[in-house]
Amino acid sequence: MTTFEGITASRVETDRYAANVLEHPGEGEVPVVFIHGNVSSSLFWQPMMQDLPVRSLAIDLRGFGDSETKPVDASRGVRDFSDDVAGVLDAQGISRAHLVGWSLGGGVVMQLMLDRPDLVATATLVSPVSPYGFGGTRRDGSLLTPDGAGTGGGGANPDFVARLAAGDRSNDEPTSPANVFAGSYVAAGYTSEHMDTWLDAMLSTKTGEDNYPGTATTSESWPGFAAGDRGVLNTLSPTHFNTAGIVDLADKPDILWVRGDADAIVGDESFFDLNTLGKHGIVPGWPGEDVAPPQPMLAQTRDVLQAYQAAGGRYREVVLEGVGHSAHLERPEEFKAALLSLIRDA
């Protein structure tokens, strides 16, 4: 694992798992705590940590980076992850933090808002999963099928999973991790001197039924599979995950929602959504828009955040033009300015 200048790595033992935690010193009593997304690790946060004047930490979730690999119980949604993060903060004596979550990590932050509101000073959601999970819902969050057909572990590309497990560093196939990063994590034209580190982060993902991608079950509904109850992708199935309850929190921390307008993973018609793939003929047998519409992920997030605001909370949406799924990598100065403004105004 490559740690950048000024950043230290330590192993934090909790009663849940042994966590790898990166830290960079800085000012202020309330630190920034970064939570990475799926198929990634804390390594992705290092340039931002170096550049912040505030003390910052980044936590590897179970089965990612250099943290302990333990099974993920997806029947709890993302609570295995959020409880792990809370355990690390408790072990470190951190009673309150500015939480920043990317993609899956955004779901973890929203779950912490529900389960450990005492820890959350502010919440920054970077290209977050919808509060209603990934795939399988209408705009109001209601399930398209009772079993969440087309969501969860069965939706992973098996060749991509095999290449992760093999530590593939090539770029000769569309499913190689390097090409998935270039085609999905960032917008076209992104370059970085840290590409080897980004690939290290992706390849740290532990694969299998208990980790990435997880299990699947058969379904009578198209496309023939539904979410299982083990592993990473199933944590975000709408049969297990729903954080729309943040609207009803008594104490509402300020929320910053940052996204790119060229995000290939989270969008109102994402090509990581099986229903979008069916609609465009990539997966055969699609039953049509009335039965299996693409998930309106952005509209759902905006609806929930507007309801949050109407109930007394505050949120700000920052949309970065020409940016993909990784605003903190692609436009670090604009991302940093938005984050520091949130912290200053909280």
Tell me the residue range of the domain where 334 lies.
8-345
Closest by Cα among 344, 325, 345 to 54: 344
Print burial letters for 105-130: b (CB count within 10 Å at least 16), e (below 16): bbbbbbbbbbebeebbbbbbbbbbbb
State the Cα torsion 69-70-75-80 to the nearest 10°: -80
Is residue 249 domain-resident?
yes
Domain containing residue 64: CATH number: 3.40.50.1820
> How many whole angstroms from its chain centre is CA 2?
22
Is residue 117 domain-resident?
yes
Is residue 336 domain-resident?
yes
Query: How many domains is the chain built from?
Result: 1
Q: Going residue by residue through the chain (346 aa), what tens digit of pLDDT does each one get?
A: 789 999 999 999 999 999 999 999 999 999 999 999 999 999 999 999 999 999 999 999 999 999 999 999 999 999 999 999 999 999 999 999 999 999 999 999 999 999 999 999 999 999 999 999 999 999 999 999 999 999 999 999 999 999 999 999 999 999 999 999 999 999 999 999 999 999 999 999 999 999 999 999 999 999 999 999 999 999 999 999 999 999 999 999 999 999 999 999 999 999 999 999 999 999 999 999 999 999 999 999 999 999 999 999 999 999 999 999 999 999 999 999 999 999 999 8
Closest by Cα among 135, 133, 36 to 81: 36
Is residue 2 domain-resident?
no
Is residue 3 domain-resident?
no
Asked whether the CA dihedral 44, 14, 123, 63 is positive or negative, the reply is positive
The bridge status of strand 254-260 relative to strand 315-320 is parallel
Is residue 293 domain-resident?
yes
